[in-house]
């Protein structure tokens, strides 16, 4: 704390102490005075828990100030620094839940919905955390009735589904039993249609491939190509405009012949330079991709292979 500590008119406040502070043989009941350099002190219980709680076991105490205090320069937070306090009482868990939940009947903290078991839910009836939907068993669901995490849709059993009523992961369609389906009512993986069983054949160069999707994902050719320079946006306009100024122009996306700005285009010259410098043995591995078609390859990557 600085030598020029302020002394605002605050005599009592709240601190949060994590369980791992304890030394062997010590308990919270042993505490009467607590010292820690530049500990955070909050005038209100809600702010103390809201800013300091990170999910790890902890206790919140109401304390009397017995040392100098200094206002946190971060004006967004009404908190102070101090080095020593006298502990008056531990705040009961029931009081924390009452203070931190806008919703009702919640077992957890920072819920704005009702009947949640977990933290930071804005929906209702969730058993998990950070759900904006309702009746989810899992975390970070924006849909409802999901058993899993990070689902945008509803009624999914799995993870990262944006569709509905899927039993699996990463599905964008509905009623699929499997993973990575963009269609509906499929029983399998990677289907973009409907009522398909098994897995859709993996395509290479617009043709069904003799290798599987997993074989491609683990191939040397893919490992080589994934290292090519990524697309970079370069502005093609003769007016020297910034992106914001560009988008404000009435001829946004106009014709070069009008001497105005044109839409951003992708510069692929770096990829060609990368390819030209690539050792021949690595090029041969790429050429060995089943069904390799140089015209399709150029259309997709911008690389001319000769």
- What total number of domains does the chain contain? 2
User: pLDDT tens, 279-301?
Assistant: 999 999 999 999 999 999 999 99
Q: Which two tokens stand for residue 82?
A: 């101090």
Instruction: Report the range of poorest mean pLDDT among 56-70, 108-122, 233-247.
Output: 233-247
DSSP designation for 157: B
Residue numbers of the domain that contains 26: 12-97
CA dihedral over 32, 109, 105, 136, signed as positive or negative: negative
Which of 50, 65, 97 corresponds to the end of one domain? Answer: 97
Supply the pLDDT for residue 209: 92
The C-alpha atoms of residue 48 and residue 112 are separated, in whole angstroms, by 18
The CA distance from 19 to 152, in Å, is 35
User: Among all chains, which residue has been given the structure tokens 């040397």?
Assistant: 220
In this prediction, residue 274 carries a pLDDT of 94
The more confident residue out of 151 and 265 is 151
Residues whose CB is less than 8 angstroms from the CB of residue 301 and which lie 6 or more positions away in sequence, other chains included: 225, 228, 268, 271
d(CA 135, CA 179): 23
Share of the chain above pLDDT 90, in %: 19
1 pLDDT higher than 70: no
Is residue 184 assigned to a domain?
Answer: no
Q: Looking at 97, 120, 143, which one is the last position of a domain?
A: 97
Rounded to whole angstroms, the Cα distance separating 130 from 133 reads 9
How close are the terminal C-alpha atoms of the chain, in Å? 68
In a domain, 75, yes or no: yes
Task: Tell me, yes or no, whether 230 lies in a domain.
Answer: yes
Q: Is residue 252 part of a domain?
A: yes
d(CA 30, CA 96): 22
Residue 186 has pLDDT above 70, yes or no: yes
Note the pLDDT tens digit of each residue in 222-277. 999 999 987 554 445 555 555 555 555 554 444 444 444 444 445 567 899 999 99
Res 96 pLDDT > 90: no
So what's the pLDDT on residue 34? 86
List, in order, residues 6 or more apart from 105 with CB less than 8 Å away. Answer: 114, 115
Most confident by average pLDDT, 4-8, 33-37, 95-99, 281-285: 281-285
Is pLDDT of 4 > 50?
no
User: What is the DSSP secondary structure assignment for residue 40, as one 8-state letter?
Assistant: E
In a domain, 48, yes or no: yes
Task: Decide which of 56, 79, 97 is a domain's last residue.
Answer: 97
Position 10 pLDDT exceeds 60? yes
* Confidence (pTM): 0.53
Reported as a pLDDT band with limits 50, 70 and 90, residue 113 is: confident
- Band of pLDDT at residue 153, cut at 50, 70 and 90: confident
Strands 197-199 and 187-189: parallel
Copy the structure tokens of residue 113.
């919905």
Q: Would residue 80 count as lying in a domain?
A: yes
Do the domain assignments include residue 116? no
Closest-CA residue to 37 (of 90, 88, 85, 86): 85
């Amino acid at each position: 704390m600085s030598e020029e500590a302020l002394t605002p008119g605050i005599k009592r406040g709240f601190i949060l102490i994590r369980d791992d502070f304890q030394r062997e043989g010590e308990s919270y009941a042993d505490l009467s005075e607590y010292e820690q350099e530049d500990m955070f002190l909050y005038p209100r219980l809600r702010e103390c828990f809201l800013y300091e709680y990170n999910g790890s076991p902890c206790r919140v105490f109401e304390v009397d100030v017995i040392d100098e205090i200094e206002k946190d320069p971060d004006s967004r937070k009404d908190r102070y620094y101090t080095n020593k306090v006298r502990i008056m009482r531990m705040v009961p868990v029931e009081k924390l839940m009452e203070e931190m939940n806008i919703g009702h009947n919640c077992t957890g903290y920072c819920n704005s919905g009702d009947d949640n078991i977990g933290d930071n839910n804005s929906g209702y009836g969730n058993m998990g955390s950070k759900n904006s939907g309702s009746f989810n068993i899992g975390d970070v669901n924006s849909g409802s009735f999901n058993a899993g995490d990070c689902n945008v849709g509803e009624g999914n059993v799995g993870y990262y589904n944006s569709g509905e009523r899927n039993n699996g992961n990463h599905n964008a369609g509905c009623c699929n039993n499997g993973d990575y389906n963009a269609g509906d009512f499929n029983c399998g993986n990677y289907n973009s249609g409907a009522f398909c069983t098994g897995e859709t054949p993996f395509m290479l160069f617009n043709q069904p491939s003799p290798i599987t999707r997993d074989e491609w994902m683990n191939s040397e050719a893919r490992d080589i190509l994934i290292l090519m320079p990524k697309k970079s946006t370069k502005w093609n306009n003769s007016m020297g405009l910034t992106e914001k100024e560009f988008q404000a122009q009435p001829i946004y996306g106009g014709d070069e012949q009008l001497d105005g700005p044109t839409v951003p285009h992708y510069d692929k010259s770096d990829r060609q330079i990368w390819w030209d410098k690539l050792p021949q043995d690595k090029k041969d591995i790429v050429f060995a991709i089943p069904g390799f078609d140089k015209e399709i390859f150029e259309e997709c990557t911008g690389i001319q292979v000769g």
